[in-house]
């Protein structure tokens, strides 16, 4: 998500440092059963060899990611390569994605960028996981940190300060065009 205002964005602390419910909400509830299944099947179609259980985990994390992006529109976040597969599958289901974003209160746009070392942000995954927790969910640590519990690679790099990049909830006027992917 692009930080479209000047200055450093404020990042709330993870939920684990404050009060939270014993049971996190199920992000799958953001979509109807048929819509969720359709997105999962798209992930499977695009990734031969993945199990249905793995595809479901990826789509669920993508839903958490989009929800967090909608709640914290000025904080730069990014999905891992795996979670990005789920987000792209959501975007391909245009009516489902539009309804999801409408229900969340804002469109979360995707602005593809080519990787550039100058925009790399080593803290982006830690920040993304913290915001997913702030949204009320438990992040699937393996999809964000891998089996070794080290942060895994991001699918997109974050934008330069003040610019609009790969993720934008629709409130940044500095990026030309519609921003739809």
The structural domain count of the chain equals: 1
Q: What is the pLDDT of residue 32?
A: 86
CA distance linking residue 147 with residue 70, whole number of Å: 28
pTM of the model: 0.72
**Residue 74, domain extent:** 27-168
Does 34 reside within a domain?
yes
Q: What is the pLDDT of residue 180?
A: 39
Does 4 reside within a domain?
no
Does 14 reside within a domain?
no
Is residue 114 classed as helix, strand or coil in its secondary structure? coil
Does 12 reside within a domain?
no
CA distance linking residue 136 with residue 67, whole number of Å: 10
Nearest residue to 83 (alpha-carbon basis) of 133, 32, 155:
155
Does 92 reside within a domain?
yes
Does 41 reside within a domain?
yes
Does 17 reside within a domain?
no
Low-confidence ranges of the chain (pLDDT < 70): 1-23, 118, 146-181
Contacts with 1 (C-beta within 8 Å, 6 or more apart), sequence order: 69, 72, 73, 74, 75, 76, 77, 78, 108, 158, 165, 166, 167, 168, 169
Does 8 reside within a domain?
no
């Amino acid at each position: 998500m692009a930080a479209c205002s000047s200055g450093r964005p404020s990042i709330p602390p993870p939920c684990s440092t404050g009060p939270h419910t014993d049971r996190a909400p199920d992000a799958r509830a953001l979509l109807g059963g048929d819509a969720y299944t359709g997105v999962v099947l798209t992930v499977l179609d695009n990734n031969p060899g993945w199990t249905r259980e793995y595809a479901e985990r990826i789509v669920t994390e993508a839903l958490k990611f989009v929800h967090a992006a909608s709640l914290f529109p000025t904080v730069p976040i990014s999905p891992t390569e795996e979670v990005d597969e789920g987000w792209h599958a959501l975007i391909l289901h245009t009516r489902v994605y539009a309804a999801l974003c409408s229900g969340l209160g804002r469109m979360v746009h995707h602005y593809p960028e080519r990787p550039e070392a100058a925009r790399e942000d080593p803290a982006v995954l830690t920040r993304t996981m913290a915001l997913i927790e702030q949204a009320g969910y438990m992040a699937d640590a393996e999809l964000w940190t891998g089996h070794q519990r080290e942060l895994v690679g991001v699918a997109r790099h974050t934008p330069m300060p003040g610019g609009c990049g790969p993720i934008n909830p629709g409130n940044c006027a500095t990026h030309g065009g519609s921003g739809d992917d």
